[in-house]
């Protein structure tokens, strides 16, 4: 059974629930925002491929990051931590899709097309889907991604 835990969404330097999550062998952590406080644990998360659900807009709106351009997820992406973008508190944020979070991350973090594609792949790979559905979803994602790239290249020419 896969274990998903909410953790690391805190302004407190004393919040250690990301350590607990790692020791429990979780598959995915909701938020993981303050992983940067623990360099050794940061490396362990990257090696274990434990995914972090990053909620860009929510983290800014709730005051966990003063400026989303400086969100620690940019470092997580750069160092190989598996990051997924997630919306959070959709009723409160009046946001039920990931479009705004992807837009904010793309613009504020200066993401490349490769980064955006990897975030999409991570969303599937670290989901709770069974392996067969994941496999089918990855193929469908790649087909749609390739169609998108082909259309953009055609538009440029």
Residue 66, CA distances (Å) to 8, 12, 19 in order = 16, 15, 24
> Is 31 marked active-site?
yes
| Residue partners of 79: CB distance under 8 A and separation at least 6 | 42, 43, 46
Q: Which of 65, 3, 83, 75 is nearest to 39 (CA)?
A: 75
Q: Which of 5, 10, 102 is nearest to 65 (CA)?
A: 10
Neighbours of 62 (CB within 10 A): 15
Taking only Cα atoms into account, the Rg of the chain, rounded to an integer number of angstroms, comes to 16
Query: Per the residue annotation, which of 31, 42, 53, 71 is the catalytic one?
Result: 31
> Is 152 marked active-site?
no
Query: Per the residue annotation, which of 6, 9, 71, 94 is the catalytic one?
Result: 9
For the annotated catalytic residues, the residue numbers are 9, 31
């Amino acid at each position: 059974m896969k274990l998903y835990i909410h953790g690391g969404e805190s302004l407190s330097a004393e919040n250690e629930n990301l350590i607990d999550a790692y020791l429990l062998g979780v598959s995915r952590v909701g938020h993981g925002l303050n992983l940067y406080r623990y360099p050794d644990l940061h490396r362990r998360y990257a090696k274990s491929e434990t995914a972090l659900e990053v909620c860009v807009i929510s983290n800014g709106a709730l005051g966990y990051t003063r400026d989303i351009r400086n969100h620690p997820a940019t470092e997580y992406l750069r160092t190989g931590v598996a990051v997924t973008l997630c919306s959070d508190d959709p009723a409160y944020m009046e946001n039920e899709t990931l479009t705004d979070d992807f837009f904010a991350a793309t613009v504020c973090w200066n993401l490349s097309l490769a980064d955006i594609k990897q975030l999409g792949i991570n969303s599937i790979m670290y989901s709770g889907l069974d392996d067969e559905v994941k496999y089918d979803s990855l193929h469908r994602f790649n087909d749609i991604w390739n169609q998108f790239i082909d259309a953009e290249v055609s538009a440029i020419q």
